[in-house]
A and B are shown apart, each in its own frame.
Chain A
């Protein structure tokens, strides 16, 4: 099946369109070799955007590098949506390892000086 004879009007219209397009078709040779690029078409905003993006990436990487993980606890870099439940007072003690035989800077209770017996 192609088209019915009563499509002649559309056939004629499209034939006219083909005829009109003929003068605007680039040559075969030009298309085969590739469209010539106009000099100076590269957008300066492109380079500015790439520069800004690179600066942001460098800043983020540098900031992450500066953040040292808590002593003795490996940093895995993941954070669950329920991690805030662990943000309780005194949570810093959970991230430290007490040394045996002394308090050594790990003395949680306020009002009690280091070395004082409870």
Chain B
């Protein structure tokens, strides 16, 4: 794939890529931006190569997830060595507020998603937010399809239990 094509693909997937990066960074927007930036660099500089075995979106999400994991490991090491109390804190940027109907639903959903396990939240996000199939989500998360399906079913049931009746979601 030519660099211009790669960049166009990245730009087209940018909003979804940022949402996935945000999920991988547990809602830390500044960290999500850094992770996405590093992922783009990996792709554009050829350090991560798309081999065409999966859809570009699935592959890119895998790169973002791996980059987020590498960053988390690096931050953990930094915190362990020097103490996290003086570590640089993420910028305080307000989340999307509940000023619109969509914002209110998003806020409610976000609160509910925080109560799922990490794996459940990741699978649910990939399937419902990113419109991936369970098979594709399993590819992004590097887990067997059966495991992803289990996380999906349990996550969905838990999400519904947290949100209450269907009418409460809307």
Contacts and interface: CB of A to CB of B under 8 A. Distances in A.
B80 to A, nearest CB: 14
Contacts of B14: 25, 28, 31
A80 interface: no
A13 B11 CA distance: 25
A14 interface: yes
B63 interface: no
Contacts of B127: 2-3
A95 B10 CA distance: 71
B11 A16 contact: no
A17 B109 contact: yes
Interface of A: 1-3, 7, 9-14, 16-26, 28, 30-35, 38, 41-43, 45-46, 49
B106 interface: yes
B19 interface: yes
Most buried by A among B15, B102, B110, B134: B102
B84 to A, nearest CB: 12
Interface of B: 7, 10-11, 14-15, 18-19, 30, 33-34, 36-37, 40, 44, 82-83, 86-88, 91, 95-96, 100-103, 105-110, 127-129, 133-135, 149, 156, 159-160, 163, 166, 169-170
B15 A49 contact: no
18 contacts: A1-B134, A1-B135, A3-B127, A10-B128, A12-B170, A13-B170, A16-B105, A17-B110, A20-B100, A20-B107, A21-B19, A21-B96, A24-B95, A25-B14, A38-B91, A42-B88, A45-B86, A46-B82
Contact of B82 (A12, A17, A49): A49
B103 A20 contact: yes
A10 B83 contact: no
A20 B96 contact: yes
Nearest to B7: A32
Contact of A17 (B10, B34, B129, B166): B129
A7 B127 CA distance: 11
Contacts of B87: 43
Contacts of A24: 95-96
Given A10-B128, A13-B169, A25-B14, A41 B109 contact: no
